[in-house]
Amino acid sequence: MKNLNNIWVIVLACLLSIAPMYGQSTAKKNKIIADSQTAKAEFIKSDPLMKALFDKAYGYVIFPNVGKGGLGIGGAAGNGVAYEQNKRVGMAKLSQVSIGFQAGGQAYREVIFFETKNEMDRFKESRFEFSAQASAVAVTEGASANVKYTDGVMVFTMQKGGLMYEASVGGQKFKFNKL
């Protein structure tokens, strides 16, 4: 029973920490920007080979704090920063709804690399989403060595905390706001 209470506390904390990106104060945006820089450093620290991905990708989006929770029906959300040719170009919002066997909550980081201008433009036009079949690579040392772009996109995640059991179907959608 105590473990179930812990799971509900984590789920509640994840859901309460998710705030809409639109209408955020400058201080909140600056925090997301600072957190994205920290997340980038953590990705590279965990797998030094990722530095080349950040340097060579046409663009990328870093979501430094994604909260995910669910019990049967779940959701995830996070705010991030978009970079094009290593220059900050806007803010982004990730949202996900899933249905299936799942219980718990977790927090993680996510980075999406775009190989070309076409994929980056689709993202900037908020026409980009992942299907249920899309997969991400968990970052560990050397994990990026053999990863290739799929349809011009490459995704990495890094768990920050929490516990979640899941076998669900759902996709991620994104919204972009120019700076």
Taking the C-alpha atoms of residue 20 and residue 12, their distance in angstroms, rounded to an integer, is: 16
Every domain of the chain and the residues it spans? 2-178
User: Could you read off the pLDDT of 76-97 as tens digits, one per residue?
Assistant: 899 999 999 999 999 999 998 8
Q: Yes or no: say if 87 and 33 are a contact pair by the CB < 8 Å rule.
A: no
- How, if at all, do strands 137-138 and 153-178 pair? parallel
Q: Are 110 and 94 in contact (CB under 8 A)?
A: yes
Cβ contacts of residue 34 below 8 Å, gap of 6+? none
pTM (global) more than 0.85: no
Could you tell me the two tokens for 63? 């979501």
Name the E strands within the chain.
59-84, 87-114, 137-138, 153-178
What confidence tens digit (pLDDT) does each residue in 108-152 have?
A: 999 999 999 999 999 999 888 876 556 677 777 777 777 889 889
Residue 64, strand partner residues: none
- Condensed to tens digits (0 to 9), the pLDDT of residues 7-24 reads 444 444 444 444 444 445
Model pLDDT, residue 22: 45
What gap in Å lies between CA 166 and CA 168, rounded to an integer? 6
Q: pLDDT above 90 covers what percent of the chain?
A: 46
